[in-house]
Chain A
């Protein structure tokens, strides 16, 4: 037991993942080069995917890795390799700015902490089982039985966007 929380594999994994997310977030804000920031953002995405795994949402976690940690990070890195030249570090701000920023964020942190403490959170009775029963089948049923029409509409919108992007890109080529 550690502060009333039993030390199971899931708790340890949660704290490691939380550490990864927070550390990546801090790096994201404090690093100077845009490329390093992009990589730190990838760390945040991966940590969040890990949390999804712990909550038993395998499919969401894998999609998080594929879309965010994979595609979006690579897109940013790709764009940066093409556009970025030389040093992009900026001189750090005035000391007054830093003090004001620190005070504002401290107030926000305290306010959020107090609210979280004061709110009565509903506690689930059933423990979540990571890698548990088949979530994917449930998502599939929901997508193709219950929400068929919204799903098809979304796919239509995506197709229109894709064709539109191709048309715009071709115009610029000429």
Chain B
């Protein structure tokens, strides 16, 4: 059923493809819904507030209500905006975010996972396509805050892509593969254990660069509320705004899933079933990012670039050297 390329196409194949996509989409929507709730509750708890608690028991339906509100809002396109670009920019931002989920190995049996030989590279490549959506959205809005936000996000995401790729390279060198499912399987019988142990430097660089790639605090300059209103999506409202938020939170999930698969052993773990281990580990990464968000102040623009080029890239190069020595002598 899943060998679709070389067999004649039937309705069954098409149905399989569509159902698979819908299942992944539903999974992602539910995950994003509770990511947002968890973020508000967790940061509320850190700041000694209660957080949303009115819609549903313990505020469980708060995000659903918010999304419903966004969907039934009027679709406003500013008069001076470039209409066509303004309309498709959120889609360009979201589609790659959804596509990278094809790589995520949720369980030991890969039903919805593409076992690509270049999986890790594919993630980096697709996440760079999303940047076009952010910059275009900022440009098409014809608004100075949006434009500055878009420019900042492009500059920041491109510079932090390099240390992110280099930090992953250490894992690729140890595992001898860029296939994410192989990397996860390797960690179950590797002599080093989970790759966070031999790759602790790589993991830290990966985490920092990933936070910057996600435009997350302390690297949220593209959408700095105090200076840019909301950055590249200042002019957006209704479901186009929802698309931008959705792609941001889908990337958050995809990043947590990637960190789990590359460094924390993916679905490997004792007693509990594989998917539960995967969920626990990626939830911990997501909570770590919320914790960072609640703790850190925003960086300055000049600090941002020099940090990427003068700290992260040398450190990740050093990590590659160490990894090379490790695989040479161990």
Among A13, A70, A81, A135, which residue has its beta carbon within 8 angstroms of that of B128?
A70
Q: Which of B6-14, B23-31, B208-216, B272-280 contacts A (4 or more CB under 8 A)?
A: B6-14
Instruction: Tell me the number of A-to-B contacts counted with CB atoms below 8 Å.
Output: 101
In this complex, which of A129, A130, A134 has the most chain B Cβ atoms within 10 angstroms of its Cβ? A134
Q: In this assembly, does B108 line the interface, its C-beta being within 8 Å of a C-beta of chain A?
A: no
Contact with A along B184-224 (1 / 0, CB 8 A): 00000000000000000000000000000000000000000
State the CA gap A84–B151 with chains docked (Å). Answer: 14
Find residues 2-54 in chain A having any chain B CB closer than 8 Å to their own CB. Answer: 6-10, 12-13, 33, 35-36, 39, 42, 46
State the CA gap A35–B114 with chains docked (Å). Answer: 34
* Contact in complex: A74, B7 (CB < 8 Å): no
State the CA gap A38–B251 with chains docked (Å). Answer: 25
State the CA gap A87–B4 with chains docked (Å). Answer: 47
Q: Which of A57-65, A95-103, A108-116, A117-125 contacts B (4 or more CB under 8 A)?
A: A57-65
* Contact in complex: B139, A35 (CB < 8 Å): yes
Q: In this assembly, does A93 line the interface, its C-beta being within 8 Å of a C-beta of chain B?
A: no
Query: What residue of chain A has the Cβ atom nearest to residue B88's Cβ?
Result: A39
- What is the minimal beta-carbon distance from A34 to any residue of chain B, in angstroms? 11
Q: In this assembly, does B138 line the interface, its C-beta being within 8 Å of a C-beta of chain A?
A: yes
Q: In this assembly, does B77 line the interface, its C-beta being within 8 Å of a C-beta of chain A?
A: no
Q: In this assembly, does B5 line the interface, its C-beta being within 8 Å of a C-beta of chain A?
A: yes
Among A39, A129, A131, A135, which residue has its beta carbon within 8 angstroms of that of B136?
A39
State the CA gap A126–B147 with chains docked (Å). Answer: 51
Query: What residue of chain A has the Cβ atom nearest to residue B92's Cβ?
Result: A39
Among B6, B138, B139, which residue has its beta carbon within 8 angstroms of that of A8?
B6
State the CA gap A42–B270 with chains docked (Å). Answer: 46
* Contact in complex: A74, B8 (CB < 8 Å): no
- What is the minimal beta-carbon distance from A70 to any residue of chain B, in angstroms? 3
* Contact in complex: B85, A36 (CB < 8 Å): yes
Sample (25) of A-B pairs whose CB atoms are under 8 Å apart: A8-B8, A9-B4, A12-B9, A13-B5, A33-B82, A35-B85, A35-B139, A39-B85, A39-B136, A62-B118, A62-B125, A63-B121, A66-B124, A69-B128, A70-B129, A73-B132, A74-B131, A74-B132, A77-B132, A78-B154, A81-B135, A81-B138, A81-B147, A131-B114, A136-B117
Interface residues in chain B, defined as those with a beta carbon under 8 Å from any beta carbon in chain A: 4-9, 13, 82, 84-85, 114-118, 121-122, 124-126, 128-129, 131-132, 135-136, 138-139, 147, 150-151, 154-155, 158, 178
